[in-house]
Amino acid sequence: MAAESLAPADGLVWKIVKKAGDTVKQGEEIVILESMKMEIPVTAEADGTITRLLVEEGQAVEEDDTIAEVE
Amino acid sequence: MTNDKPEIPPEWQEKLAQFEWRRARARELGGARRIRRAHDRGQLTIRERLAKATTSFHEIGEFATYDDVDALGNLRSQMPASYVMGLGTFAGRHVAIGGEDFTVRAGAPQTYLDRMKGGLGGFVEDLAHEYRIPLVMFMEGIGGDIAASGEKGHSYLVSSLSWGRSYELLGEVPVLAMVSGSSAGGTAGRTVLSHFSVMTKDSVFFAGGPPLVERALGKSVDKFELGGAAVATRSGAIDNLATDEDDAIEQMARFLSYLPQNVWQMPPRTPSDDPVDRPIDEILGRIPTSNRRPYKATDIITPIVDVDSFFEIGKHWGKAVTTGLARIDGIPVGIIASNPMHLGGAMDAQAAEKQIRFVDMCSTFHLPLVYFADVPGFMVGPDAERANVVRWGMRAIQSLIEAEVPVVTIQVRKAYGMAVSATSDPDGLSLRIAWPTAEWGDLPVEGGVEAGFAREIEESDDPEAYRAAINENFRNIADPWRTVEAFGVEAMIDPRDTRVMVADFLNASLHRVQTDLGPQQRQWRVRP
């Protein structure tokens, strides 16, 4: 089962911290959004490998959009 | 002495036999088939709910009957009335408790009785009002239905029924509502006239269900898409989400544990084995000093309140503020916190609405408020304006000024613009305790300088350098220590001292709270 990381808020993708194929631990930052002048981290929902990263820097995202999947 | 039961006198035998026969019939609800259908859906019947939720229960109106007639008015059978209620012990407290019986005409109002048992008004609400005890309601019904006019022999104007008692109770006793199954129309309306509502994740709640929507709008909608828990807990119609009925009952018990029996009593303080001077060093790791880094509001609330005492209310809507009940040194308190994870903590219309309802409830039941403020302002942008953020925001300010309980504000980080007025009570003591991470002003320096000195910057010889110099000047002025030294904020403390300090002020404030009991006297009668 892939664990999806969702955008916690509307915003712009400010920084990609990890890339597809990277190993992450639960809670680790994958992407940082910028929303209302705040850096909002999107974190891994499980330990594993990032199988899909669905955004690129500068992209606008909406709350609950899938940002990444970890398996 | 023998263990034999005393003999029943012959003249009593027939009376008691009839009594037992009628009681057995009353307890059959709408019949085995309908009960099985409820069980197949994973739901309890109203009698099972009452048995599960209470440790004692004395039923009222057990023999009230509904005549089940066909569409032409011919009597098919008699069933118990579609509401079960009485005096119960719930979570160790005397309560008036009841709920619709969905197995009898989908819990429709008992307009066929001389006196309604519950639902909209009715005996159970009079019981809560007259005895000044909480009202606990299990909401499962479809509101009115066409069969009602068949029973009466005429159609009635719905406005002949009064909601007065249901509104009156909100200012007198705690009112709690659980939704399991379908809560529609009048039942949905009665649900929101409560201080706390909770629904199970597979329930539905709406003004009108899919058949009505189809007729009115020609739209075919799935009932969960229309009014599932994901909709009702995000709109704010329902406060909390529960995994199942056990969880929902547990959440109602927890909510009630912070509240008094009525507004004439103090909230129940419980002995606490969590020392007020417990070290809370972890708090420093939870507040990023960079104001661009968010944190979860609950992460800074939990170390400060008594262990495991925070009970969040309204988690799924108005997410820019987090609200919930907690205890500090055993004293029940209302907690409000800006939540930088959502809209950077900016107060939008929904957050303001959520805060108002929470502040009003805390003030009604004499729960002091602790506000963790980190607010960049009212939310801006097209969506915020369309949602009427300014009016809702100004109402939030009003509700906090009107609150008749002490308000302690922890100034966590940002405090910019009008929204800051919705984080403390300037007409009261206005105790604002700042942490060294705090910053405040009309506008943040960046952006504020741009707006205020655009022409001056443009007309200077070196606009870039001039802008930088103005920024530097205003950053110095904005240094929060200058405000502290001018006594523009009541205290600046090490965050690690917060728990012990707030506990001390709350303890002192109780002298005020316990001499201010009774129904809330609103300062102003009109909300803008």
Structure confidence by residue, pLDDT tens digits, B193-208 = 999 999 999 999 999 9
CA distances from B283 to A28, B304, B322, B334, B506 (A): 20, 8, 18, 20, 20
Cα–Cα nearest to B392, from B384, B382, B381: B384
Which CATH number does B11-257 carry? 3.90.226.10
Q: What is the pLDDT of residue B146?
A: 63
Contact of A48 with chain B, judged by CB distance below 8 Å, is answered with no
Greater model confidence, B264 or B31? B264
CA distance B417 to chain A (A): 15
Q: A8 to chain B: which residues are within 8 Å by CB?
A: 341-342
Contact of A40 with chain B, judged by CB distance below 8 Å, is answered with yes
For chain B, what percent of residues have pLDDT higher than 70?
A: 98
Q: Which of A6, A12, A15, A37 is the best substitution to test chain B (most B C-beta atoms within 10 A)?
A: A37
The span from the CA of B338 to the CA of A47, in Å, is 30
- The answer to whether A11 and A34 have CB atoms below 8 angstroms apart is yes
Q: What is the pLDDT of residue B173?
A: 98
pLDDT at B294 over 60: yes
Of B5-14, B59-68, B347-356, where does the model show the most confidence?
B347-356
pLDDT at B368 over 60: yes
What is the CATH classification number for the domain harbouring A13? 2.40.50.100
The mean pLDDT value for B137-153 works out to 76
Q: What is the pLDDT of residue B379?
A: 94
CA distance B313 to chain A (A): 19
Greater model confidence, B58 or A39? B58
Q: What is the mean pLDDT of chain B?
A: 92
Provide φ and ψ at B432, rounded to 5°.
-115, 120
- Two tokens, residue B420: 């800051």
Query: Distance from first CA to last CA of chain A, Å, rounded?
Result: 6
- Residues constituting chain A: 71
Contact A36 B341 (CB under 8 A): no
Q: What is the pLDDT of residue B486?
A: 93
* Lowest-confidence region among A37-51, B123-137, B217-231: A37-51
Nearest CB to A40; choose among B294, B346, B376 = B294
Contact of A17 with chain B, judged by CB distance below 8 Å, is answered with no
Q: What is the pLDDT of residue B42?
A: 84
Cα–Cα nearest to B34, from B99, B104, B81: B104
Give the CA angle between residues B390, B394, B397 to the nearest 5°: 145
Contact B292 A39 (CB under 8 A): yes
Contact of A14 with chain B, judged by CB distance below 8 Å, is answered with no
Q: What is the pLDDT of residue B188?
A: 96
The span from the CA of A36 to the CA of A55, in Å, is 19
pLDDT at B441 over 90: no
Can you tell me whether residue B373 is helix, strand or coil? strand
The mean pLDDT value for B108-117 works out to 87
CA distance A10 to chain B (A): 8
What is chain A's Cα-based Rg?
A: 11
Q: What is the DSSP letter of A55?
A: -
CA distances from B519 to B126, B165, B169, B360, B419 (A): 18, 15, 11, 12, 28
CA distance B247 to chain A (A): 25
Tally of CB atoms within 10 A around B421? 17
Q: What is the pLDDT of residue B525?
A: 78
Q: In the structure, what pLDDT confidence band is assigned to residue B488 with cuts at 50, 70 and 90?
A: very high
Q: What is the pLDDT of residue B76?
A: 83
Q: In the structure, what pLDDT confidence band is assigned to residue B243 with cuts at 50, 70 and 90?
A: very high
Q: A9 to chain B: which residues are within 8 Å by CB?
A: 341-343
CA distances from B476 to B19, B128, B212, B413, B449 (A): 84, 58, 62, 17, 13
Q: What is the pLDDT of residue B119?
A: 85
The mean pLDDT value for B321-337 works out to 98
DSSP for B49-82, please give it.
Answer: HHHHHEEEEEEESTT-EEEEE-TTS-EEEEEE-S
Q: What is the pLDDT of residue B70?
A: 80
Residue B266 identity = M
Contact A36 B293 (CB under 8 A): no
CA distance A61 to chain B (A): 13
Q: What is the pLDDT of residue B104?
A: 87
Q: What is the mean pLDDT of chain A?
A: 91
Q: What is the pLDDT of residue B480?
A: 87
Q: A41 to chain B: which residues are within 8 Å by CB?
A: 294
Which CATH number does B283-438+489-513 carry? 3.90.226.10
Greater model confidence, B146 or A65? A65
Q: A35 to chain B: which residues are within 8 Å by CB?
A: 343-344
The span from the CA of B380 to the CA of B414, in Å, is 16
CA distances from B91 to B48, B123, B272, B366, B388 (A): 16, 22, 19, 20, 40
- The answer to whether A44 and A70 have CB atoms below 8 angstroms apart is yes
Instruction: Count how many domains chain A has.
Output: 1
Tally of CB atoms within 10 A around B19? 12
The span from the CA of B434 to the CA of B415, in Å, is 11
Q: Which of A38, A39, A40, A42 is the best substitution to test chain B (most B C-beta atoms within 10 A)?
A: A38
Q: Which domain holds residue A51?
A: 3-70
* Lowest-confidence region among B43-52, B228-237, B439-448: B439-448
Q: What is the pLDDT of residue A64?
A: 86
Q: What is the pLDDT of residue B450?
A: 75
CA distance A66 to chain B (A): 17
Cα–Cα nearest to B227, from B205, B212, B210: B205
Q: A39 to chain B: which residues are within 8 Å by CB?
A: 292-294
Q: In the structure, what pLDDT confidence band is assigned to residue B3 with cuts at 50, 70 and 90?
A: low
The mean pLDDT value for B442-454 works out to 77
The mean pLDDT value for B385-404 works out to 96
Q: In the structure, what pLDDT confidence band is assigned to residue B346 with cuts at 50, 70 and 90?
A: very high
The span from the CA of A34 to the CA of B296, in Å, is 16
> Which of 19-38 (A) contact B at CB < 8 A?
35-38
The mean pLDDT value for B315-338 works out to 97
Contacts of range B156-165, beta carbons closer than 8 Å, 24 or more positions apart = B156/B111, B161/B109, B161/B111, B161/B120, B161/B121, B162/B121, B163/B120, B163/B121, B163/B189, B163/B193, B164/B121, B165/B121, B165/B125, B165/B126, B165/B129
Residues 6+ apart with CB under 8 A from B457: B450, B463, B466, B467, B470
Give chain B's contact residues with A (Cβ, < 8 Å): 292-294, 340-346, 376
Q: What is the pLDDT of residue B121?
A: 86
Q: What is the pLDDT of residue B26?
A: 87
Contact B341 A37 (CB under 8 A): no
pLDDT at B1 over 60: no
